[in-house]
Chains A and B, each alone.
Chain A
Amino acid sequence: MASVSLAPGRARAGLRLMRLLPVAVVLVLIALLPQAGLYYVRLADDVLIYILLGMGLNLVIGYAGLLDLGFVAFYAVGAYTYALLASPQFGIHWPFLVILPIGAALAACFGILLGIPVLPLRGDYLAIVTLGFGEIIRILLNNMNSVTGGPQGVMMIDTPKIAGLALVSPRGFYWLLLGLCVVIGVLVLRLERSILGKAWAAIREDQDAARGIGIDTVRVKLAAFAISAAIGGLAGVIFASFQRYVSPESFTFNESILIVLIIVIGGVGNILGVITGAVALIVLPEVLRGVAQYRMMAFGFTLAALIVLRPQGLVPRSFGPARLMRWLFAA
Chain B
Amino acid sequence: MTGLLLQQLVNTATIGAIYALIALGYTMVYGVLRLINFVHSELFMLGAYLCYGLLAVALGDVGAAPTLAITVAFFAVFAAVGMIGVTIERVAYKPLRSATRLAPMLSALGLSLFFQSAVQILAGPQPIRFPSIFPTTRVEVAGAVITTTQLGIIALAVLLMLLLAAFVARTRLGVLVRAVSESPRTSALLGIDVDRAISLIFFIGPGLGGLGGILYGSYYGIMYPTMGTIVGLKAFTAAILGGIGSIPGAMLGGFLLGLLEVAGTALLPVLSGGLLGTDYRDIFAFIVLVVVLIFRPTGLLGEQISEETMVYKRDY
Contacts and interface: CB of A to CB of B under 8 A. Distances in A.
Interface in A177-214: 204-208
25 contacts: A61-B102, A65-B315, A118-B290, A121-B293, A122-B312, A124-B34, A124-B36, A124-B240, A127-B36, A128-B36, A128-B236, A132-B237, A132-B289, A139-B279, A139-B283, A143-B280, A268-B102, A297-B121, A300-B110, A301-B110, A302-B110, A307-B110, A308-B92, A308-B107, A312-B100
A268 to B, nearest CB: 7
Contacts of B91: 308
B313 interface: yes
A306 B121 CA distance: 23
B191 interface: no
Interface stretch (B111-119, B135-143, B158-166, B203-211): B111-119
> Contact size class for A?
35 or more
Closest 3 CB pairs of A and B: A300-B113, A303-B110, A304-B110
Contacts of B117: 294-297, 299-300
Contacts of A89: none
B114 A311 contact: no
Interface string B70-101: 00000000000000000000011001100110
Contacts of A66: 316
A224 to B, nearest CB: 13
Interface string B289-316: 1100110010000000000001111111
A129 B244 contact: no
Nearest to B30: A124
B6 interface: no
Contacts of A124: 30, 34, 36, 240, 244
A264 interface: yes
A129 B289 CA distance: 8
A204 B1 CA distance: 54
A135 B293 contact: no
A128 B92 contact: no
Contacts of B120: 296
Interface in B224-260: 229, 233, 236-237, 240, 244
Contact of A261 (B95, B96, B109, B236): B109
A65 B314 contact: yes
Contacts of B233: 131, 135, 253
B106 A139 contact: no
A264 B316 CA distance: 10
B290 A264 contact: no
Interface string A104-146: 0000000000000110111111011101110110011011000
| Majority secondary structure, B binding face | helix
A268 B111 contact: no
Contacts of A295: 117
A139 B280 contact: yes
B279 A296 contact: no
Contacts, number: 143
B269 interface: no
A176 interface: no
Interface of A: 61, 65-67, 117-118, 120-125, 127-129, 131-133, 135-136, 139-140, 142-143, 204-208, 253, 257, 260-261, 264-265, 268, 293-297, 299-308, 311-312
Nearest to A293: B121
Contacts of A139: 279-280, 282-283
A310 B273 CA distance: 54
A304 B237 contact: no
| Majority secondary structure, A binding face | helix
Contact of A311 (B100, B236, B279): B100
Nearest to A258: B109
A294 B102 CA distance: 27
Interface string B123-137: 000000000000000
A136 B114 contact: no
Contact of A303 (B100, B104, B106, B229): B106
B114 A304 contact: yes
A215 to B, nearest CB: 16
B244 A264 contact: no
A128 B120 CA distance: 27
B99 A312 contact: yes
A118 B116 CA distance: 31
B277 interface: yes
Given A65-B316, A117-B290, A308-B107, A253 B280 contact: no
Contacts of A205: 313-314
A176 to B, nearest CB: 31
Contacts of A303: 106-107, 109-110, 113
A122 B96 CA distance: 22
Given A118-B290, A257-B109, A128 B313 contact: no
A296 B310 CA distance: 38
Contacts of A299: 113, 117
A7 B246 CA distance: 69
Contacts of A142: 279
A307 B106 contact: yes
A311 B289 contact: no
Given A296-B117, A311-B99, A304 B111 contact: yes
Contact of B114 (A67, A122, A301): A301
Given A124-B36, A132-B290, A297 B114 contact: yes
Contacts of B315: 65, 67, 123
B200 interface: no
A323 B57 CA distance: 59
